[in-house]
Structure 1
Amino acid sequence: MLFSVVLLVIGIALLLINVGVISLEIREFFVMFIPILLVLAGIVYFIKCIRNKSSISILFALYFTIYGSLLMLNQQKIISFTYGDWWKLWPVFFIYLAVNMLFFKGKAQIVVEFNSTQNSEDEKTKKVKGKRYKKSLINDMHFNEQNWPLQSMDLHTNIGDFYFDFNKAFIPEEETTIKIKSRIGDVKMLVPEDIPIKIEVKTKVGDIRLFDLKSTDMKPHLYYESPTYHEAIKKIDITIEMGIGDIRIDRV
């Protein structure tokens, strides 16, 4: 969506320049329109935040909106703020933490969509020794289609949210291993009560809620293992490592 908006704005502006409606050099064009595109990016992330109830999206929404707005004010000679001053916006992270605690903490609602193309070559998904392996820079991963086939996974991404509804999955009679690693993003899961599980979750900055357990440390780390895990045939082993983000895991 964001890429489409960027192409639309650039295309319209270049068309107006070519037909003589507006007269701008290419350099002046980018200086004028890049702040607008940044604000549009902030709006897109804000919409995503509301739609997916993803708290991490609000961080990008705040950053891009404020960054673009300050650049626009600089163009109007109201303030002095250049592209190289992006580092001055580091207090936005504290604003994000405050907004996250005020409006997102305690909301464990799971909003999950299944991506029917996640086995395609375009997403660079492959199987390694019977395990689904996927690595990407920016990507959300959704698993909630009815009877979706659960298998061992090794998922890595820099930025992205993860959504799992194991209650709708076809779970094989074996130990299924799921490893998730991401720099920025949220993880939300629904786990059936009758499936033994072993879970280890870590995040450097964020909040963890694992059933009735809740993290309180600066570097949260929680561990849980079902009493019957080792004796069970059908079971799930989950490991989650996040840089910045929230983790919610509930029984259903």
Structure 2
Amino acid sequence: MNSGLVSRLFGGLILVGIGVVFLLNQMGYMEIDLGYVIRTYWPVILILAGLKNVLEYNKHPYGRSISIGNLILIAIGGYFLARNLDVIVLSPGDFFRYLVPTMLIIAGLYVILKPRNSSKSYHDPSKTYHDPSKSYHETSNYSSFDPTMSDADMSGMHSNPNPNPNPNSHSNSHSKNTWKEDHGWSSSTVNKSGFIGDLHLGSDYFELRPTNVSHFIGDTVIDLTKASIPYGETKITISSFMGDVKVYVPNDLEVGVAVTCTAFHGEVKVLDHYDNGFMKNIQQQTPFYGDASKKVRIIVSTFLGDVKVNKVG
């Protein structure tokens, strides 16, 4: 089923249902205590949200991880709905005591049954790396070149029309600060979080800032090949409970990369180091990291899932 159709269907049915209930209540055909309805049936929202994503299983490249997480969401919503309707008398404390080991069982099955190519549909920049310098030269306006131009004319094209011999002048000092102003650079930290699904960062060109990423269930993909990396050290912290973590960094001599990875179970491939198994703690960095003008420090903590940090280019 088309994912857009599913979203429209669920959203439309919810709005129609709410509208019909309000209309019948206003017309006197039925008497409804809206406070009671909200208090009793709010878990239906969790159930519908979980069902919507489960129905999109085949259309999503990470369908298995999405289905597992949303089945848990449906179970939580179903419990609270049944409790509000007095169908069951299980206390929330007892319910979550059963839910935690159940989640561990589901997580173990996820590790066993997870396909090796679960992230294949995501565009891997390491397979089709494009050097941005080439696109610049290809798009330059070479048609303006005239082979009949004299050497004086050619030198005039490359000369500075507004020379500024004084390096301490106002215009020169202003030009040094235009990069931050034009690109909106800020040293503030970026915080990203996700509960269920997949989290992708870096699909387009962006300014890299210190970043914290927290994710519960699903894959985390961070592509730094299109990032404008500032001078100095930039820290990226990634925390994931269940799902793969993939980070692509540019293969640039000017950029140093240091990685600290802590994984309970899964395969770990960091730069040129590979390991797998339980309770892994790995630290790797590129040669001459301390001398690099641009540094990226990546800290990854994951419970179940593979971790890959690859240099691209």
The question of a shared fold, defined as TM-score above 0.5 by the shorter chain, is answered with: yes
Is 1:86 aligned to residue 100 of structure 2? no
Instruction: Find the aligned partners of 1:184 and 1:154 in 2 and give their Cα distance.
Output: 18
Instruction: Find the aligned partners of 2:91 and 2:115 in 1 and give their Cα distance.
Output: 31
Aligned 8 A contact 2:41 2:81 in 1: no
Aligned to 2:260: 200
3-state SS, counterpart of residue 132 of structure 1: coil
| Matched AA of 2:285 | E
Instruction: Find the aligned partners of 2:88 and 2:203 in 1 and give their Cα distance.
Output: 48
- Give the alignment partner of residue 227 of structure 1, picking from 267, 275, 287: 287
Aligned 8 A contact 2:107 2:304 in 1: no
- Give the alignment partner of residue 99 of structure 1, picking from 110, 117, 135: 110
Larger CA deviation: 184-193 vs 91-100: 184-193
Structure number with higher helix proportion = 2
Is 1:214 aligned to residue 275 of structure 2? yes
TM-score (ref. length: structure 1): 0.65
- Give the alignment partner of residue 238 of structure 1, picking from 279, 298, 311: 298
3-state SS, counterpart of residue 215 of structure 1: strand
Instruction: Find the aligned partners of 1:185 and 1:143 in 2 and give their Cα distance.
Output: 21
TM superposition shift of 1:34: 3.3
Q: How does 1:66-215 map to 2 (within 5 A)?
A: 66-69=75-78, 80=88, 82=90, 84=92, 86-87=95-96, 88-90=98-100, 91-104=102-115, 107-109=118-120, 111=122, 131-135=187-191, 138=194, 140=199, 142-145=201-204, 147-149=205-207, 151-155=208-212, 157=214, 162-172=220-230, 174-182=231-239, 184=241, 187-194=245-252, 196-204=256-264, 208-211=268-271, 213-215=274-276
Aligned 8 A contact 1:131 1:152 in 2: yes
Aligned 8 A contact 1:197 1:229 in 2: yes
| Matched AA of 2:309 | I
3-state SS, counterpart of residue 222 of structure 2: strand
TM superposition shift of 1:98: 0.8
CA gap of 1:9–1:208, structure 2 versus 1, over 3 A, is: farther
Aligned 8 A contact 2:111 2:304 in 1: no
1:67-102 Cα deviation digits (max 9, x unpaired)? 34456677999x746573531323133113312431
3-state SS, counterpart of residue 299 of structure 2: strand
CA gap of 1:34–1:141, structure 2 versus 1, over 3 A, is: same
CA gap of 1:205–1:103, structure 2 versus 1, over 3 A, is: closer
TM superposition shift of 1:201: 1.6
Consecutive unaligned residues of structure 2, counting only runs of 5 or more, are 1-6, 124-183
3-state SS, counterpart of residue 167 of structure 1: coil
Instruction: Find the aligned partners of 1:54 and 1:248 in 2 and give their Cα distance.
Output: 20
Identity of aligned residues (%): 17
Instruction: Find the aligned partners of 2:292 and 2:304 in 1 and give their Cα distance.
Output: 33
TM superposition shift of 1:16: 4.9
Instruction: Find the aligned partners of 2:237 and 2:121 in 1 and give their Cα distance.
Output: 18
**Which one has a bigger Cα radius of gyration?**
2
| Matched AA of 1:191 | V
Consecutive unaligned residues of structure 1, counting only runs of 5 or more, are 113-125
Aligned to 2:127: none
| Matched AA of 2:99 | L
